Amino acid sequence: MTVDRILPTDEAHDLLDLATELADRELAPRAAGFEERAEFPREVLRTLGRAGLLGLPYAEEHGGAAQPYEVYVQVLEILASRWLAVAEAVSVHTLSCYPVAQFGTDEQRKLLPDMIGGELLGAYCLSEPQGGSDAAALTTKAVRDGDAYVVSGTKAWITHARVADFYNIFCRTGGPGPKGISCLLADRNTPGIHPQAAERTMGLHASPVAQIAFDEARVPAERLIGGEGMGFTIAMSALDSGRLGIAACAVGLAQAALDYAIGYARERQQFGRAIIDFQGLGFTLADHATQISAARALLLAVARLRDAGRPYSVEAAKAKLFATDVAMRVTTDAVQVLGGAGYVTDHPVERYMREAKVLQIVEGTNQIQRLVISRALAKG
C-alpha cells in the first residue's frame, strides 16, 4: 500500500523516491537469496553509500546530506520494507559514524567522507558476553602505553563484526562505573583484533553478528574519541539516535508484512469469497494498519523533537518499544493469515516474523525501554 507522507522539502521527496527506486531494484530482488546463503551484501551498502543514503543526517562538509532525522528514518523505513538486513546495516553504520561526527577531533573527522560514503563500514562494540543491558559494567580494558592504548577483552553481538572496516570500542580506561569508560576508534587490520565465528541467528542471516576478541590490541592514542571518561556519554547519546533507527526498521518491516498479508487475503478464496471479507480476519488487518500508522506517527514526532534540539531520550525509548512490539505482532499474525502457506519459505512472512524478534532486543531490549520510561515517570 502507498504511504501518504508529508515531507519538509522537495529534496526530501526526491530522496525518498531515490530510496524507493534503489530498494525495488537493488534490495527486493536479492533479499531471499542472500538470506538463504547467509551472505552479507557488501556491494549493496556501497551502492547506497555512493547514492548518498548512508550519510543522510550528517553535515555536508563531511560528505553527508544534512537531512533532518525526520527524513532519514523514513528512508530507513522504505529500505526495511524491502530487506530488513540492509536497513539494519544502514542503521548500525550510521550509529557507528556518530561518535566521530559528534565528538571527534578535526583530524579524526577527516575519516568521515569515506565512512559516510560507505567505502568504510563500521561496527559498534558496546555489548559484552557477561552483560548487554548493563553497559556501565563493561570489563573490556584499555591501558595507556606510550602513544597507544592496549585493549584486552571480548565484545559480543557485534553487527558487522566480520566485515567492518572500523570499530568503535567502548572500554574501561578508569575505575568502575560509567565514568571509567572511554571510546576508541580502531581499524579492522589492527593486530590483536580477532572477530570470531558468526553466530547462528534466528533471522537476519545476511547480517554477520559475532563476538570480537581483543588480545592486547594496540590502538593509537590519537584515536581516543572525546577524551578519557567520555565513552558512556557517547554510547548513550548514540543509542538514543540508534533507537529511532530500529523503530524505523520495525515500521518498515511491519508494513511489508501487512501489505503481503492483505494481498494474499484479497486473492485467497474460502467458502466462495475472499478471506479478507470475513470480519475476523479483516478486523485483524484493520487493527494492524492502525497500529502501524500509530507507530509511524510516534517515530516521526520523536524524530522532529531531535531535529528541533529538544530532549528526546525517553520519547525515543517509547518509539522503539511501541514500533518493535507492533512489528512482532503484525508479522506473527501475517503468518496466521496465510495459514500453512505462511509457514513455508515460498512466502516471505515467515522470514519477517523471525526478523521482527531481534528488533525487540537490539539497541536496548524492550524491557530496558520500559525501565527508561518508568524511571522518567517516577522522577516526574
Catalytic residues: 363
Q: Residue 66 in 3-state DSSP? A: coil
Q: Residue 41 in 3-state DSSP? A: coil
Maximum CA extent, the chain = 79
Secondary element (H or E) of residue 377: helix 366-379
CA distance 363 to 340: 33
Alpha carbons within 13 A on the beta-carbon side of 323? 31
Q: Read off the C-alpha cell for 346.
A: 515460498
Residue 99 is which amino acid? P
**Runs of H (alpha helix) within the chain:** 10-22, 31-37, 42-50, 69-82, 84-103, 112-116, 231-267, 279-307, 313-338, 349-359, 366-379
Q: Say if residues 56 and 75 touch (Cβ distance below 8 Å).
A: yes
Closest CA to 319 of 253, 380, 355, 369: 369
